C-alpha cells in the first residue's frame, strides 16, 4: 500500500472514530472499558446474531415499501401507481402536504389540501423520496433512555446521506432512487447494535451507568455487518446488498456513491460539532473530485437540516 493511500485510510478511520464520539458524547476523560464491558465485547456476536434479539430489536421493512423497492430491479413495475398508493399512508400524506405548503414550493401562499395538488407541485419522483424517508424513519429510532442525542444525530446523518446519495448518483451513473434508499438504510445496523446492547445492559445488575466507549466499540465494529444482515433479511435487491458490503472498501457504482455520501455527511457533522475545520473538510471532499461549490452548499444545507 502506497504512503498516500495509507494516509487516506488513516484519515477515514479518524473521521469514523470522531463521528462515533459525537454519537455517544465521548470525551477524553471517559472511563476505560471494564472487565464486564470486555466480556460484552467478546460476546457481542452471540447476542447480536441471536434469534431472540433479532426478533425483538431488528426493524421490519414496511410492507407498503416492498413494491416501491421492487421498481429498482423491475422496470415493468408501475412507479406512478406505487408512489400514488404510498400517499395513502397518513404519515406520508401529512409530510407531503407540509412540504407542498412550505415557502420553497408554495410561493403564492395558497392552502394546498389534496395529495393530487401537492404531487403536481412537488413532482412524483420527489414524492417517492419523501414517502420512503417517512416510512423508513423508524430504523433510526432507539429504545434506550441513555445517550438522548444518539437518535437525533444518527437520524440527521441518515437523511443527509440519502440526500447526498441522490445528488451524487449521476456522477457514478447509478440509480438515484436506489442511492437514496441506501442512504436511508445504511445506519440500520448501528441502531440495531445500539438497541441490542442497551437491552443486554438492562438485563444486568452490574451496570448503573453504561460506558459510552463500550457503545462506540460495539456499534463501530458491528454496525456495518448487521446492516448487511438486515438488508438480506429484508430481501433487498442484490445490487443494494453488494453496495452495503462495499461501504468501507468502495469500488465503483453504488458502493462508491454510498461511501462518498456517507463520508460527506460525517465530515459535515464534524464541522458542525467543531471537531474538524470547514476548510479541512472541504479540502478532503474535493480530493474525491467533488466540486467545491457543491461541498460548501451541502455543508450549509446539512447544518440546517432537522
Question: What are the pLDDT digits (tens) for 251-289?
Answer: 789 999 999 999 999 999 999 999 999 999 999 999 999
Number of alpha carbons in the 13 Å side-chain half-sphere of residue 18: 19
Angle between helices 148-168 and 253-272 (to 10 degrees): 130
Q: Are 223 and 194 in contact (CB under 8 A)?
A: no
C-alpha cell at 175: 440509480
Distance of alpha carbon 271 from alpha carbon 15, whole angstroms: 11
CA diameter of the chain: 63
- Binned at pLDDT 50, 70 and 90, residue 106 comes out as low
**Residue numbers of the domain that contains 86:** 63-124
| Residue 131, domain member (yes or no) | no
The pLDDT, as a whole number, for residue 268 is: 96
- Judgement on whether residues 293 and 189 belong to the same structural domain of the protein: yes
If you average pLDDT over residues 114-138, what whole number do you get? 82
pTM of the model: 0.88
If you average pLDDT over residues 87-99, what whole number do you get? 82
If you average pLDDT over residues 233-241, what whole number do you get? 91
In this predicted model, what pLDDT tens digit does every residue of 24-83 receive, in sequence order?
988 755 667 788 889 999 999 999 999 999 999 998 888 777 777 777 666 666 767 777
Give the total number of structural domains in the chain.
2
- Judgement on whether residues 55 and 68 belong to the same structural domain of the protein: no
The pLDDT, as a whole number, for residue 75 is: 65
Of 130 and 74, the one with more pLDDT: 130
For the chain, the C-alpha Rg in angstroms (whole number) is: 20
Distance of alpha carbon 45 from alpha carbon 217, whole angstroms: 13
pLDDT-above-70 percentage for the chain: 90
CATH number of the domain residue 156 falls in: 1.10.3210
Last residue of a domain, one of 124, 147, 172: 124
Distance of alpha carbon 304 from alpha carbon 306, whole angstroms: 6
Distance of alpha carbon 256 from alpha carbon 196, whole angstroms: 29
- Binned at pLDDT 50, 70 and 90, residue 5 comes out as low
Q: What is the mean pLDDT of the chain?
A: 86
- Judgement on whether residues 53 and 167 belong to the same structural domain of the protein: yes
Of 192 and 73, the one with more pLDDT: 192
Burial label for 115, CB within 10 Å (0-12, 13-18, 19+), is middle
- Judgement on whether residues 162 and 218 belong to the same structural domain of the protein: yes
Distance of alpha carbon 207 from alpha carbon 175, whole angstroms: 46
Look at residue 166 and tell me whether its pLDDT is greater than 90.
yes
The pLDDT, as a whole number, for residue 1 is: 46
Amino acid at each position: 500500500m502506497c504512503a498516500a493511500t495509507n494516509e487516506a485510510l488513516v484519515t477515514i478511520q479518524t473521521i469514523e472514530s470522531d463521528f462515533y464520539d459525537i454519537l455517544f458524547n465521548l470525551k477524553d476523560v471517559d472511563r476505560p472499558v471494564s472487565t464486564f464491558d470486555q466480556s460484552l465485547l467478546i460476546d457481542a456476536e452471540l447476542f447480536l446474531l441471536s434469534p431472540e434479539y433479532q426478533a425483538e430489536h431488528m426493524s421490519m421493512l414496511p410492507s407498503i415499501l416492498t413494491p416501491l423497492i421492487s421498481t429498482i430491479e423491475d422496470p415493468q413495475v408501475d412507479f406512478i401507481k406505487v408512489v400514488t398508493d404510498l400517499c395513502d399512508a397518513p404519515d406520508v400524506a401529512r409530510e407531503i402536504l407540509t412540504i407542498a405548503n412550505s415557502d420553497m414550493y408554495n410561493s403564492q401562499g395558497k392552502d394546498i389540501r389534496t395529495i393530487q395538488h401537492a404531487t403536481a407541485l412537488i413532482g412524483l419522483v420527489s414524492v417517492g423520496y419523501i414517502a420512503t424517508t417517512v416510512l423508513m424513519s423508524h430504523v433510526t429510532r432507539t429504545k434506550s433512555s441513555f445517550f438522548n442525542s444518539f437518535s437525533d444525530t444518527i437520524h440527521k446523518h441518515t437523511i443527509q446521506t440519502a440526500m447526498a446519495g441522490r445528488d451524487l448518483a449521476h456522477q457514478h451513473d447509478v440509480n438515484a432512487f436506489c442511492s437514496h434508499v441506501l442512504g436511508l438504510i445504511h445506519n440500520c445496523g448501528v441502531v440495531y447494535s445500539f438497541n441490542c446492547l442497551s437491552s443486554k445492559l438492562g438485563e444486568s445488575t452490574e451496570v448503573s451507568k453504561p460506558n459510552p466507549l463500550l457503545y462506540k466499540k460495539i456499534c463501530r465494529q458491528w454496525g456495518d455487518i448487521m446492516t448487511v444482515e438486515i438488508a438480506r433479511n429484508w430481501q433487498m435487491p442484490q445490487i443494494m446488498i453488494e453496495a452495503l458490503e462495499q461501504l468501507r472498501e468502495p469500488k465503483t457504482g453504488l458502493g462508491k456513491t454510498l461511501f462518498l455520501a456517507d463520508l460527506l455527511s460525517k465530515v459535515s457533522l464534524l464541522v458542525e460539532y467543531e471537531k474538524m475545520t470547514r476548510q479541512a473538510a472541504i479540502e478532503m471532499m474535493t480530493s474525491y473530485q467533488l466540486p467545491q461549490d457543491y461541498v460548501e452548499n451541502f455543508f450549509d444545507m446539512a447544518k440546517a437540516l432537522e
